[in-house]
């Protein structure tokens, strides 16, 4: 209300869009296309319930792991696999990734007291980025290695910029990392014959896409409705009903959503600390899926523009940067390309016996 009534913004979300340098129309299109594709994830959740021996998933179960493959990949083999995958895409990309190992800027071993998780830290444009991960030999860890090396490549390609403009803006920050994961996933699926390993790879990818694209977009859909409701004097109980409605729209009858989940929104700090932040996750992930679909369609002709896109870092608005690969982020067809990748993943996982 303050931003709209006192500061003259056109809508509550306009403040975030200006901060992200993204046109309102692009965000509207992203959210609309995402809502039109809920059926893909409902189809996945029904299939996952069958694999887990359930009639229907409960909301608590949607990230439940499937039976995992026993396969382990030695760290040295994982490094070789990722670098070979990047080399097959473009030699310059693998050369950038190799710098991380040549400069000994990666900490991958497990040891007592070590911080969990994984990240890539770029300190200065003149320095090779630093990577932390905790490698256990699982296929998922190989994907994490590819992801973090993707971040490092993005930083190194943008190293000609200053410290203030090297880093990509939030909506573009995951471009190289998720793209590297997609390259690796395709490589592993092409070579993997173990059905459990293939299913684990695909399910992990689909779980991540749901959590990053659909879930985050529906947080923002709730925020849009909640801001209108608050301005109209609605009660907290009515906000709960609105949130439960967004869950019903997401899951349909594919997932059992208990009434306790109507209050889940209260546990999401972004909603009231950094309003409308969450669509950046949806934007970034779906952008990469759509770019990857374009790469599959265009082949090597796509690569020069993609590398130039990464080399911009954060030195220009996303609309300008994405024009390097001919992308119009207000075009529903572009975003639908990302869901074509999701549909292909779903077809592939359903075909596994």
Give the lowest-confidence range in 68-72, 134-138, 205-209, 255-259: 68-72
- What is residue 43's predicted lDDT score, i.e. its pLDDT? 98
Q: Which of 3-7, 35-39, 197-201, 226-230 has the highest mean pLDDT?
A: 35-39
pLDDT at residue 167, rounded to an integer: 94
Confidence class of residue 5 from pLDDT cuts 50, 70 and 90? low
The per-residue pLDDT for range 145-172, each reduced to its tens digit, is 999 999 999 999 999 999 999 999 989 9
Which residues make Cβ contacts (< 8 Å) with residue 337, sequence separation at least 6? 289, 290, 293, 294
Q: 323: left (phi > 0), else alpha (psi -120 to 50), else beta?
A: alpha
Domains of the chain: 2-67+195-350 (1.10.1370.20), 75-169 (no CATH)
* Cβ atoms of residues 160 and 125 within 8 Å: yes
Q: CA dihedral defined by 319, 323, 326, 327, rounded to 10 degrees?
A: -10
pTM for this prediction: 0.90
Beta carbons within 10 angstroms of residue 48's beta carbon: 22
- Residue 102: count of CB within 10 angstroms of its CB: 10
Return the C-alpha torsion angle 244, 40, 336, 9, nearest 10: 10
pLDDT of residue 66: 87
- Span 33-63, pLDDT tens digits: 999 999 999 999 999 999 999 999 999 999 9
> Vertex 62, ends 61 and 64: CA angle to 5°?
65
- Res 6: pLDDT: 67
Strand partners, 106: 131
Beta strands in 45-128 (DSSP E): 57-58, 106-107, 119-121
Label residue 70 by pLDDT band (50, 70, 90).
confident
pLDDT at 88: 97
- Mean pLDDT, all residues of the chain: 94
């Amino acid at each position: 209300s303050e931003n709209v009534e006192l500061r003259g913004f056109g809508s509550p979300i306009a403040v975030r869009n200006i901060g992200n340098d993204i046109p309102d129309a692009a965000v509207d299109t992203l959210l609309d296309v995402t809502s039109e594709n809920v059926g893909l994830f409902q189809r996945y959740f029904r299939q996952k319930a069958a694999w887990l021996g359930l009639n229907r998933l409960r909301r608590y179960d949607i990230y439940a792991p499937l039976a995992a493959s026993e396969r382990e990949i030695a760290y040295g083999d994982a490094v070789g696999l990722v670098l070979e995958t990047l080399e097959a895409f473009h030699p310059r990309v693998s050369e950038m990734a190799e710098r991380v190992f040549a400069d000994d800027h990666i900490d991958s071993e497990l040891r007592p007291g070590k911080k969990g998780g994984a990240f890539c830290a770029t300190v200065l444009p003149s320095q090779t980025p630093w990577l932390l991960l905790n490698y256990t030999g699982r296929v998922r860890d190989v994907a994490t290695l590819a992801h973090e090396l993707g971040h490092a490549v993005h930083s190194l390609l943008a190293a000609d910029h200053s410290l203030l403009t090297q880093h990509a803006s939030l909506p573009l920050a995951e471009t190289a990392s998720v793209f590297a994961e997609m390259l690796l996933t395709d490589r592993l699926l092409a070579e993997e014959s173990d059905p459990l390993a293939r299913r684990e790879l695909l399910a992990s990818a689909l779980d991540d896409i749901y959590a990053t694209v659909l879930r985050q977009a529906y947080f923002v859909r709730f925020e849009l409705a909640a801001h209108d409701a608050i301005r109209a004097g609605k009660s907290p109980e009515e906000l709960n009903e609105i949130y439960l409605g967004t869950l019903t729209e997401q899951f349909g009858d594919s997932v059992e959503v208990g009434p306790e989940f109507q209050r889940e929104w209260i546990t999401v700090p972004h909603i009231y600390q950094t309003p409308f932040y969450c669509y950046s996750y949806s934007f970034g992930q779906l952008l990469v899926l759509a770019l990857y679909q374009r790469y599959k369609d265009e082949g090597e002709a796509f690569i020069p523009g993609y590398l130039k896109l990464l080399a911009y870092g954060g030195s220009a608005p996303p609309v300008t940067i994405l024009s390097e690969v001919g992308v119009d982020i207000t075009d529903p067809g572009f975003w639908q390309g990302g869901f074509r990748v999701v549909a292909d993943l779903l077809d592939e996982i359903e075909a596994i016996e």
